[in-house]
């Protein structure tokens, strides 16, 4: 009988693909990683170069509620972690909005008229949710209302993911 193949192909060199490839190689597989980006590895966690500086597409912190994941990373990078306070904000129309969005902070910053429109849109989404939920757009619209989706999630997400929310 032929020996079972120990060759493995991983598609995508984001954190998931690279981690899978790393673990598979440790388990004795012969691994090839295929990445469609001609320059970068790291997926949406990649660090890009721009005018001699390095930027993450969005500020990335290693954060997981899974002890196993945290241990895994600490074993890989024992001396490189620094601890930072976790705060992300969106600068929109001259104001800072907490991210992930906090309802009161968002409504307060948006002002009375827009906030009222957001609340009505939220109520509408609760009464008539999109079914079935096929996309991120449907998912967010059902939970936050169409208005908030258009103001924050659509622009922000499409910018950082490079994909339409639909």
Ligand X SMILES: Cc1cc2nc3c(=O)[nH]c(=O)nc-3n(C[C@H](O)[C@H](O)[C@H](O)COP(=O)(O)OP(=O)(O)OC[C@H]3O[C@@H](n4cnc5c(N)ncnc54)[C@H](O)[C@@H]3O)c2cc1C
34 binds ligand X (CB under 6 A): yes
Q: Is 16 in the site for ligand X (CB under 6 A)?
A: yes
State the SS3 of the chain.
CCCCCCEEEEECCCHHHHHHHHHHHHCCCEEEEECCCCCCCCHHHCEEEECCEEEECCCCCCCCCCHHHHHHHHHHCCCCCCCCCCCEEEEECCEEEEECCCHHHHHHHHCHHHHHHHHHHHHHHHHCCCCCCCCHHHHHHHHHCHHHHHHHHHHHHHHHHCCCCC
Using CB under 6 A, count the residues that bind ligand X: 21
Q: Does 9 bind ligand X (CB under 6 A)?
A: no
Window of 52-60, 105-113, 123-131, 144-152 that interacts with ligand X by CB under 6 A: 52-60
Binding segment toward ligand X, per CB under 6 A, in 32-40, 95-103, 112-120, 123-131 = 32-40
Shortest distance in whole angstroms from residue 9 CB to ligand X: 10
Q: Binding of ligand X at residue 13 (CB under 6 A)?
A: yes
Residue 76 as a binder of ligand X (CB under 6 A): the answer is no
Interface residues with ligand X (CB under 6 A)? 11-17, 34-37, 43-45, 57-58, 60-61, 63, 160-161
């Amino acid at each position: 009988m032929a020996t079972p193949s120990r060759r493995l192909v991983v598609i995508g060199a984001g954190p998931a693909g690279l981690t899978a490839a790393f673990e598979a190689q440790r388990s004795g597989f012969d691994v090839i990683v295929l990445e469609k980006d001609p320059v970068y590895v790291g997926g949406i966690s990649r660090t890009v170069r721009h005018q001699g500086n390095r930027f993450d597409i969005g500020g990335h912190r290693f954060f997981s509620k899974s002890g196993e994941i945290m241990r895994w990373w600490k074993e890989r990078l024992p001396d490189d972690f620094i601890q930072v306070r976790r705060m992300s904000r969106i600068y929109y129309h001259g104001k800072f909005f907490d991210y992930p969005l906090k309802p009161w902070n968002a409504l307060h910053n948006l002002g009375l008229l827009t906030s009222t429109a957001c609340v009505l849109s939220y109520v509408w989404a609760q009464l008539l949710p999109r079914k079935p939920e096929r996309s991120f757009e449907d998912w967010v619209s059902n939970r936050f209302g169409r208005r908030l989706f258009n103001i924050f999630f659509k622009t922000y997400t499409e910018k950082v993911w490079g994909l339409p929310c639909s």
